[in-house]
Amino acid sequence: MSDPAAVVAVVTGGNRGIGLEVCRQLAAHGHTVVLTARDLAAARAAAAALPGAVVPFRLDVTVPGDADHLAAVLAERFGRVDALVNNAAIHYDTWQRAASAELDVVRAAAETNVYGPWRLAMTLLPLLRASTHPRIVNVSSEGGSLASMGGGTPAYSMTKAALNAVTRMLADELRRDRILVNSVCPGWVATDMGGPGGRPVEDGAAGIVWAATLPDDGPTGGFFRDGRPVPW
């Protein structure tokens, strides 16, 4: 890739957990990181705690106007986006089973976990096309793998499977634009969402950063954990 100092990376849900660590690692690469969160104060506090060029920004991925505003600011300030990391997600619904799921919970999860990243990718597409080495990373989960899916966490699992479908479709369509699009499972990580007992957040974030910094001949349309393929 080009001079890392020139790379502009956007990370959604960047104020805590895996998203925060992704921002930390990208900034350590010398990238300019746009750290987004639904709450501006939370974004500012997170950005202030990180070294390097980290820019806080308020973004609710479920609000179309927020995505439009982000695109306008990025266009004026940077003129492009080199990497988009769609990390924001909600509803790890361990209390539900598929046969008795509250569908309102599933719909709400889809707004953030599927339509949000899909919308943001479309909105930022002109800026990604302006990059020399554009990358889109959709943070998914092994829970979204049809090969191993069970009846638990129905809202989370179904929406992550749908996000994987978005990855495949965008990767195919955007191949001609040299935009590499991949899904990444960070694994079970010790975060507020994942709970205690998971592996270190640094390890989960590393696979996401790997996909965001792939060389030009890297894979596209894949589903990975730690740089290795995960069954769909």
Catalytic residues: 156
Please state, in angstroms and rounded to a whole number, the distance separating the CA atoms of residues 24 and 64: 27
Question: If DSSP states are collapsed to H, E and C, what string results for 56-82?
Answer: EEECCCCCHHHHHHHHHHHHHHCCCCC
> 85: closest CA among 217, 206, 192, 187?
206
Tokens found for residue 130? 């302006």
Query: At a CB cut-off of 8 Å and minimum separation 6, what does 109 contact?
Result: 90, 91, 93, 155, 156, 158, 159
